[in-house]
Amino acid sequence: MEIELLCTFFVLILGSSKCEGTGTLPEICMMEPNEELGRASIPGWFYDKSIDSCLFLTFGAARAKNEHVNRFETKKECSEMCRPHVQSFCFDGPPETCKGESTIMWSYNSTQGKCFKFNGNGNRYEGINVFDNEANCNKTCRDAAQQAFRVYRPLAFLRRLGSAETK
């Protein structure tokens, strides 16, 4: 009951209704990464819910077929699954540019969590990680990620509080 009241309070304060279960995140994203012991050295990615980010990890064993774990082959695969609040194209790099192109364009770097400028051809792009100004880049990619972090962080606290009360 207390958890529901706290959750309602956060919904009113944050203006979000992501308090049900694990919010909009799939169950796999809420799991701890499976750090297998073994001799293998297999690169992969896992989602860290405490910082709303996909992180690199070297796994000690191959992933079992149909294994339901917080483990992804690529950062993009992890981000698309566990960071649905950020447009999927925000995880792509900017397109290759040709020499001589001199129009300043902007692209979001999901690893560093900020927008960077680069020399582009000045064409307007739709649905890819290229923006004509920094403000549009920040609004579309960076701010969406930061807003979700502010929402999911209190929810993680509430879930921990709820599990502590049931013990």
Q: Are 154 and 167 part of one and the same domain? A: yes
Domain interval for residue 51: 25-83
Kindly state whether residues 115 and 48 are assigned to the same domain: no
Q: Same domain for 165 and 90?
A: yes
Residue 94 shares a structural domain with residue 78:
no
The model's pTM: 0.57
Q: Is residue 38 part of a domain?
A: yes
Average pLDDT, the chain: 74
Domain boundary among 33, 66, 83: 83
Q: Are residues 62 and 130 in the same domain?
A: no
Task: Take residue 18 and report the two structure tokens written for it.
Answer: 């992501």
User: Does 71 reside within a domain?
Assistant: yes
Number of domains present in the structure of the chain:
2
Q: In this model, does residue 162 exceed pLDDT 70?
A: no
CB 106 within 8 A of CB 117: yes
CA angle 86, 32, 63 (to 5 degrees): 95
Picking from 133, 63, 70, 125, the residue whose alpha carbon sits closest to that of residue 92 is: 125
pLDDT of residue 99: 63
Structure tokens at 121: 């051809």
CB count within 10 Å of CB 66 equals: 5
Same domain membership, residue 91 and residue 31: no
- Residue 148 binned pLDDT confidence (cut-offs 50, 70, 90): low
With residues binned 3-state (H G I as helix, E B as strand, rest as coil), the percentages for the chain, rounded to 5, are 35, 20, 45
Q: Are residues 109 and 73 in the same domain?
A: no
Q: Could you give the angle at which helices 143-165 and 2-14 cross, rounded to 10 degrees?
A: 170
| CATH code of the domain in which 53 resides | 4.10.410.10
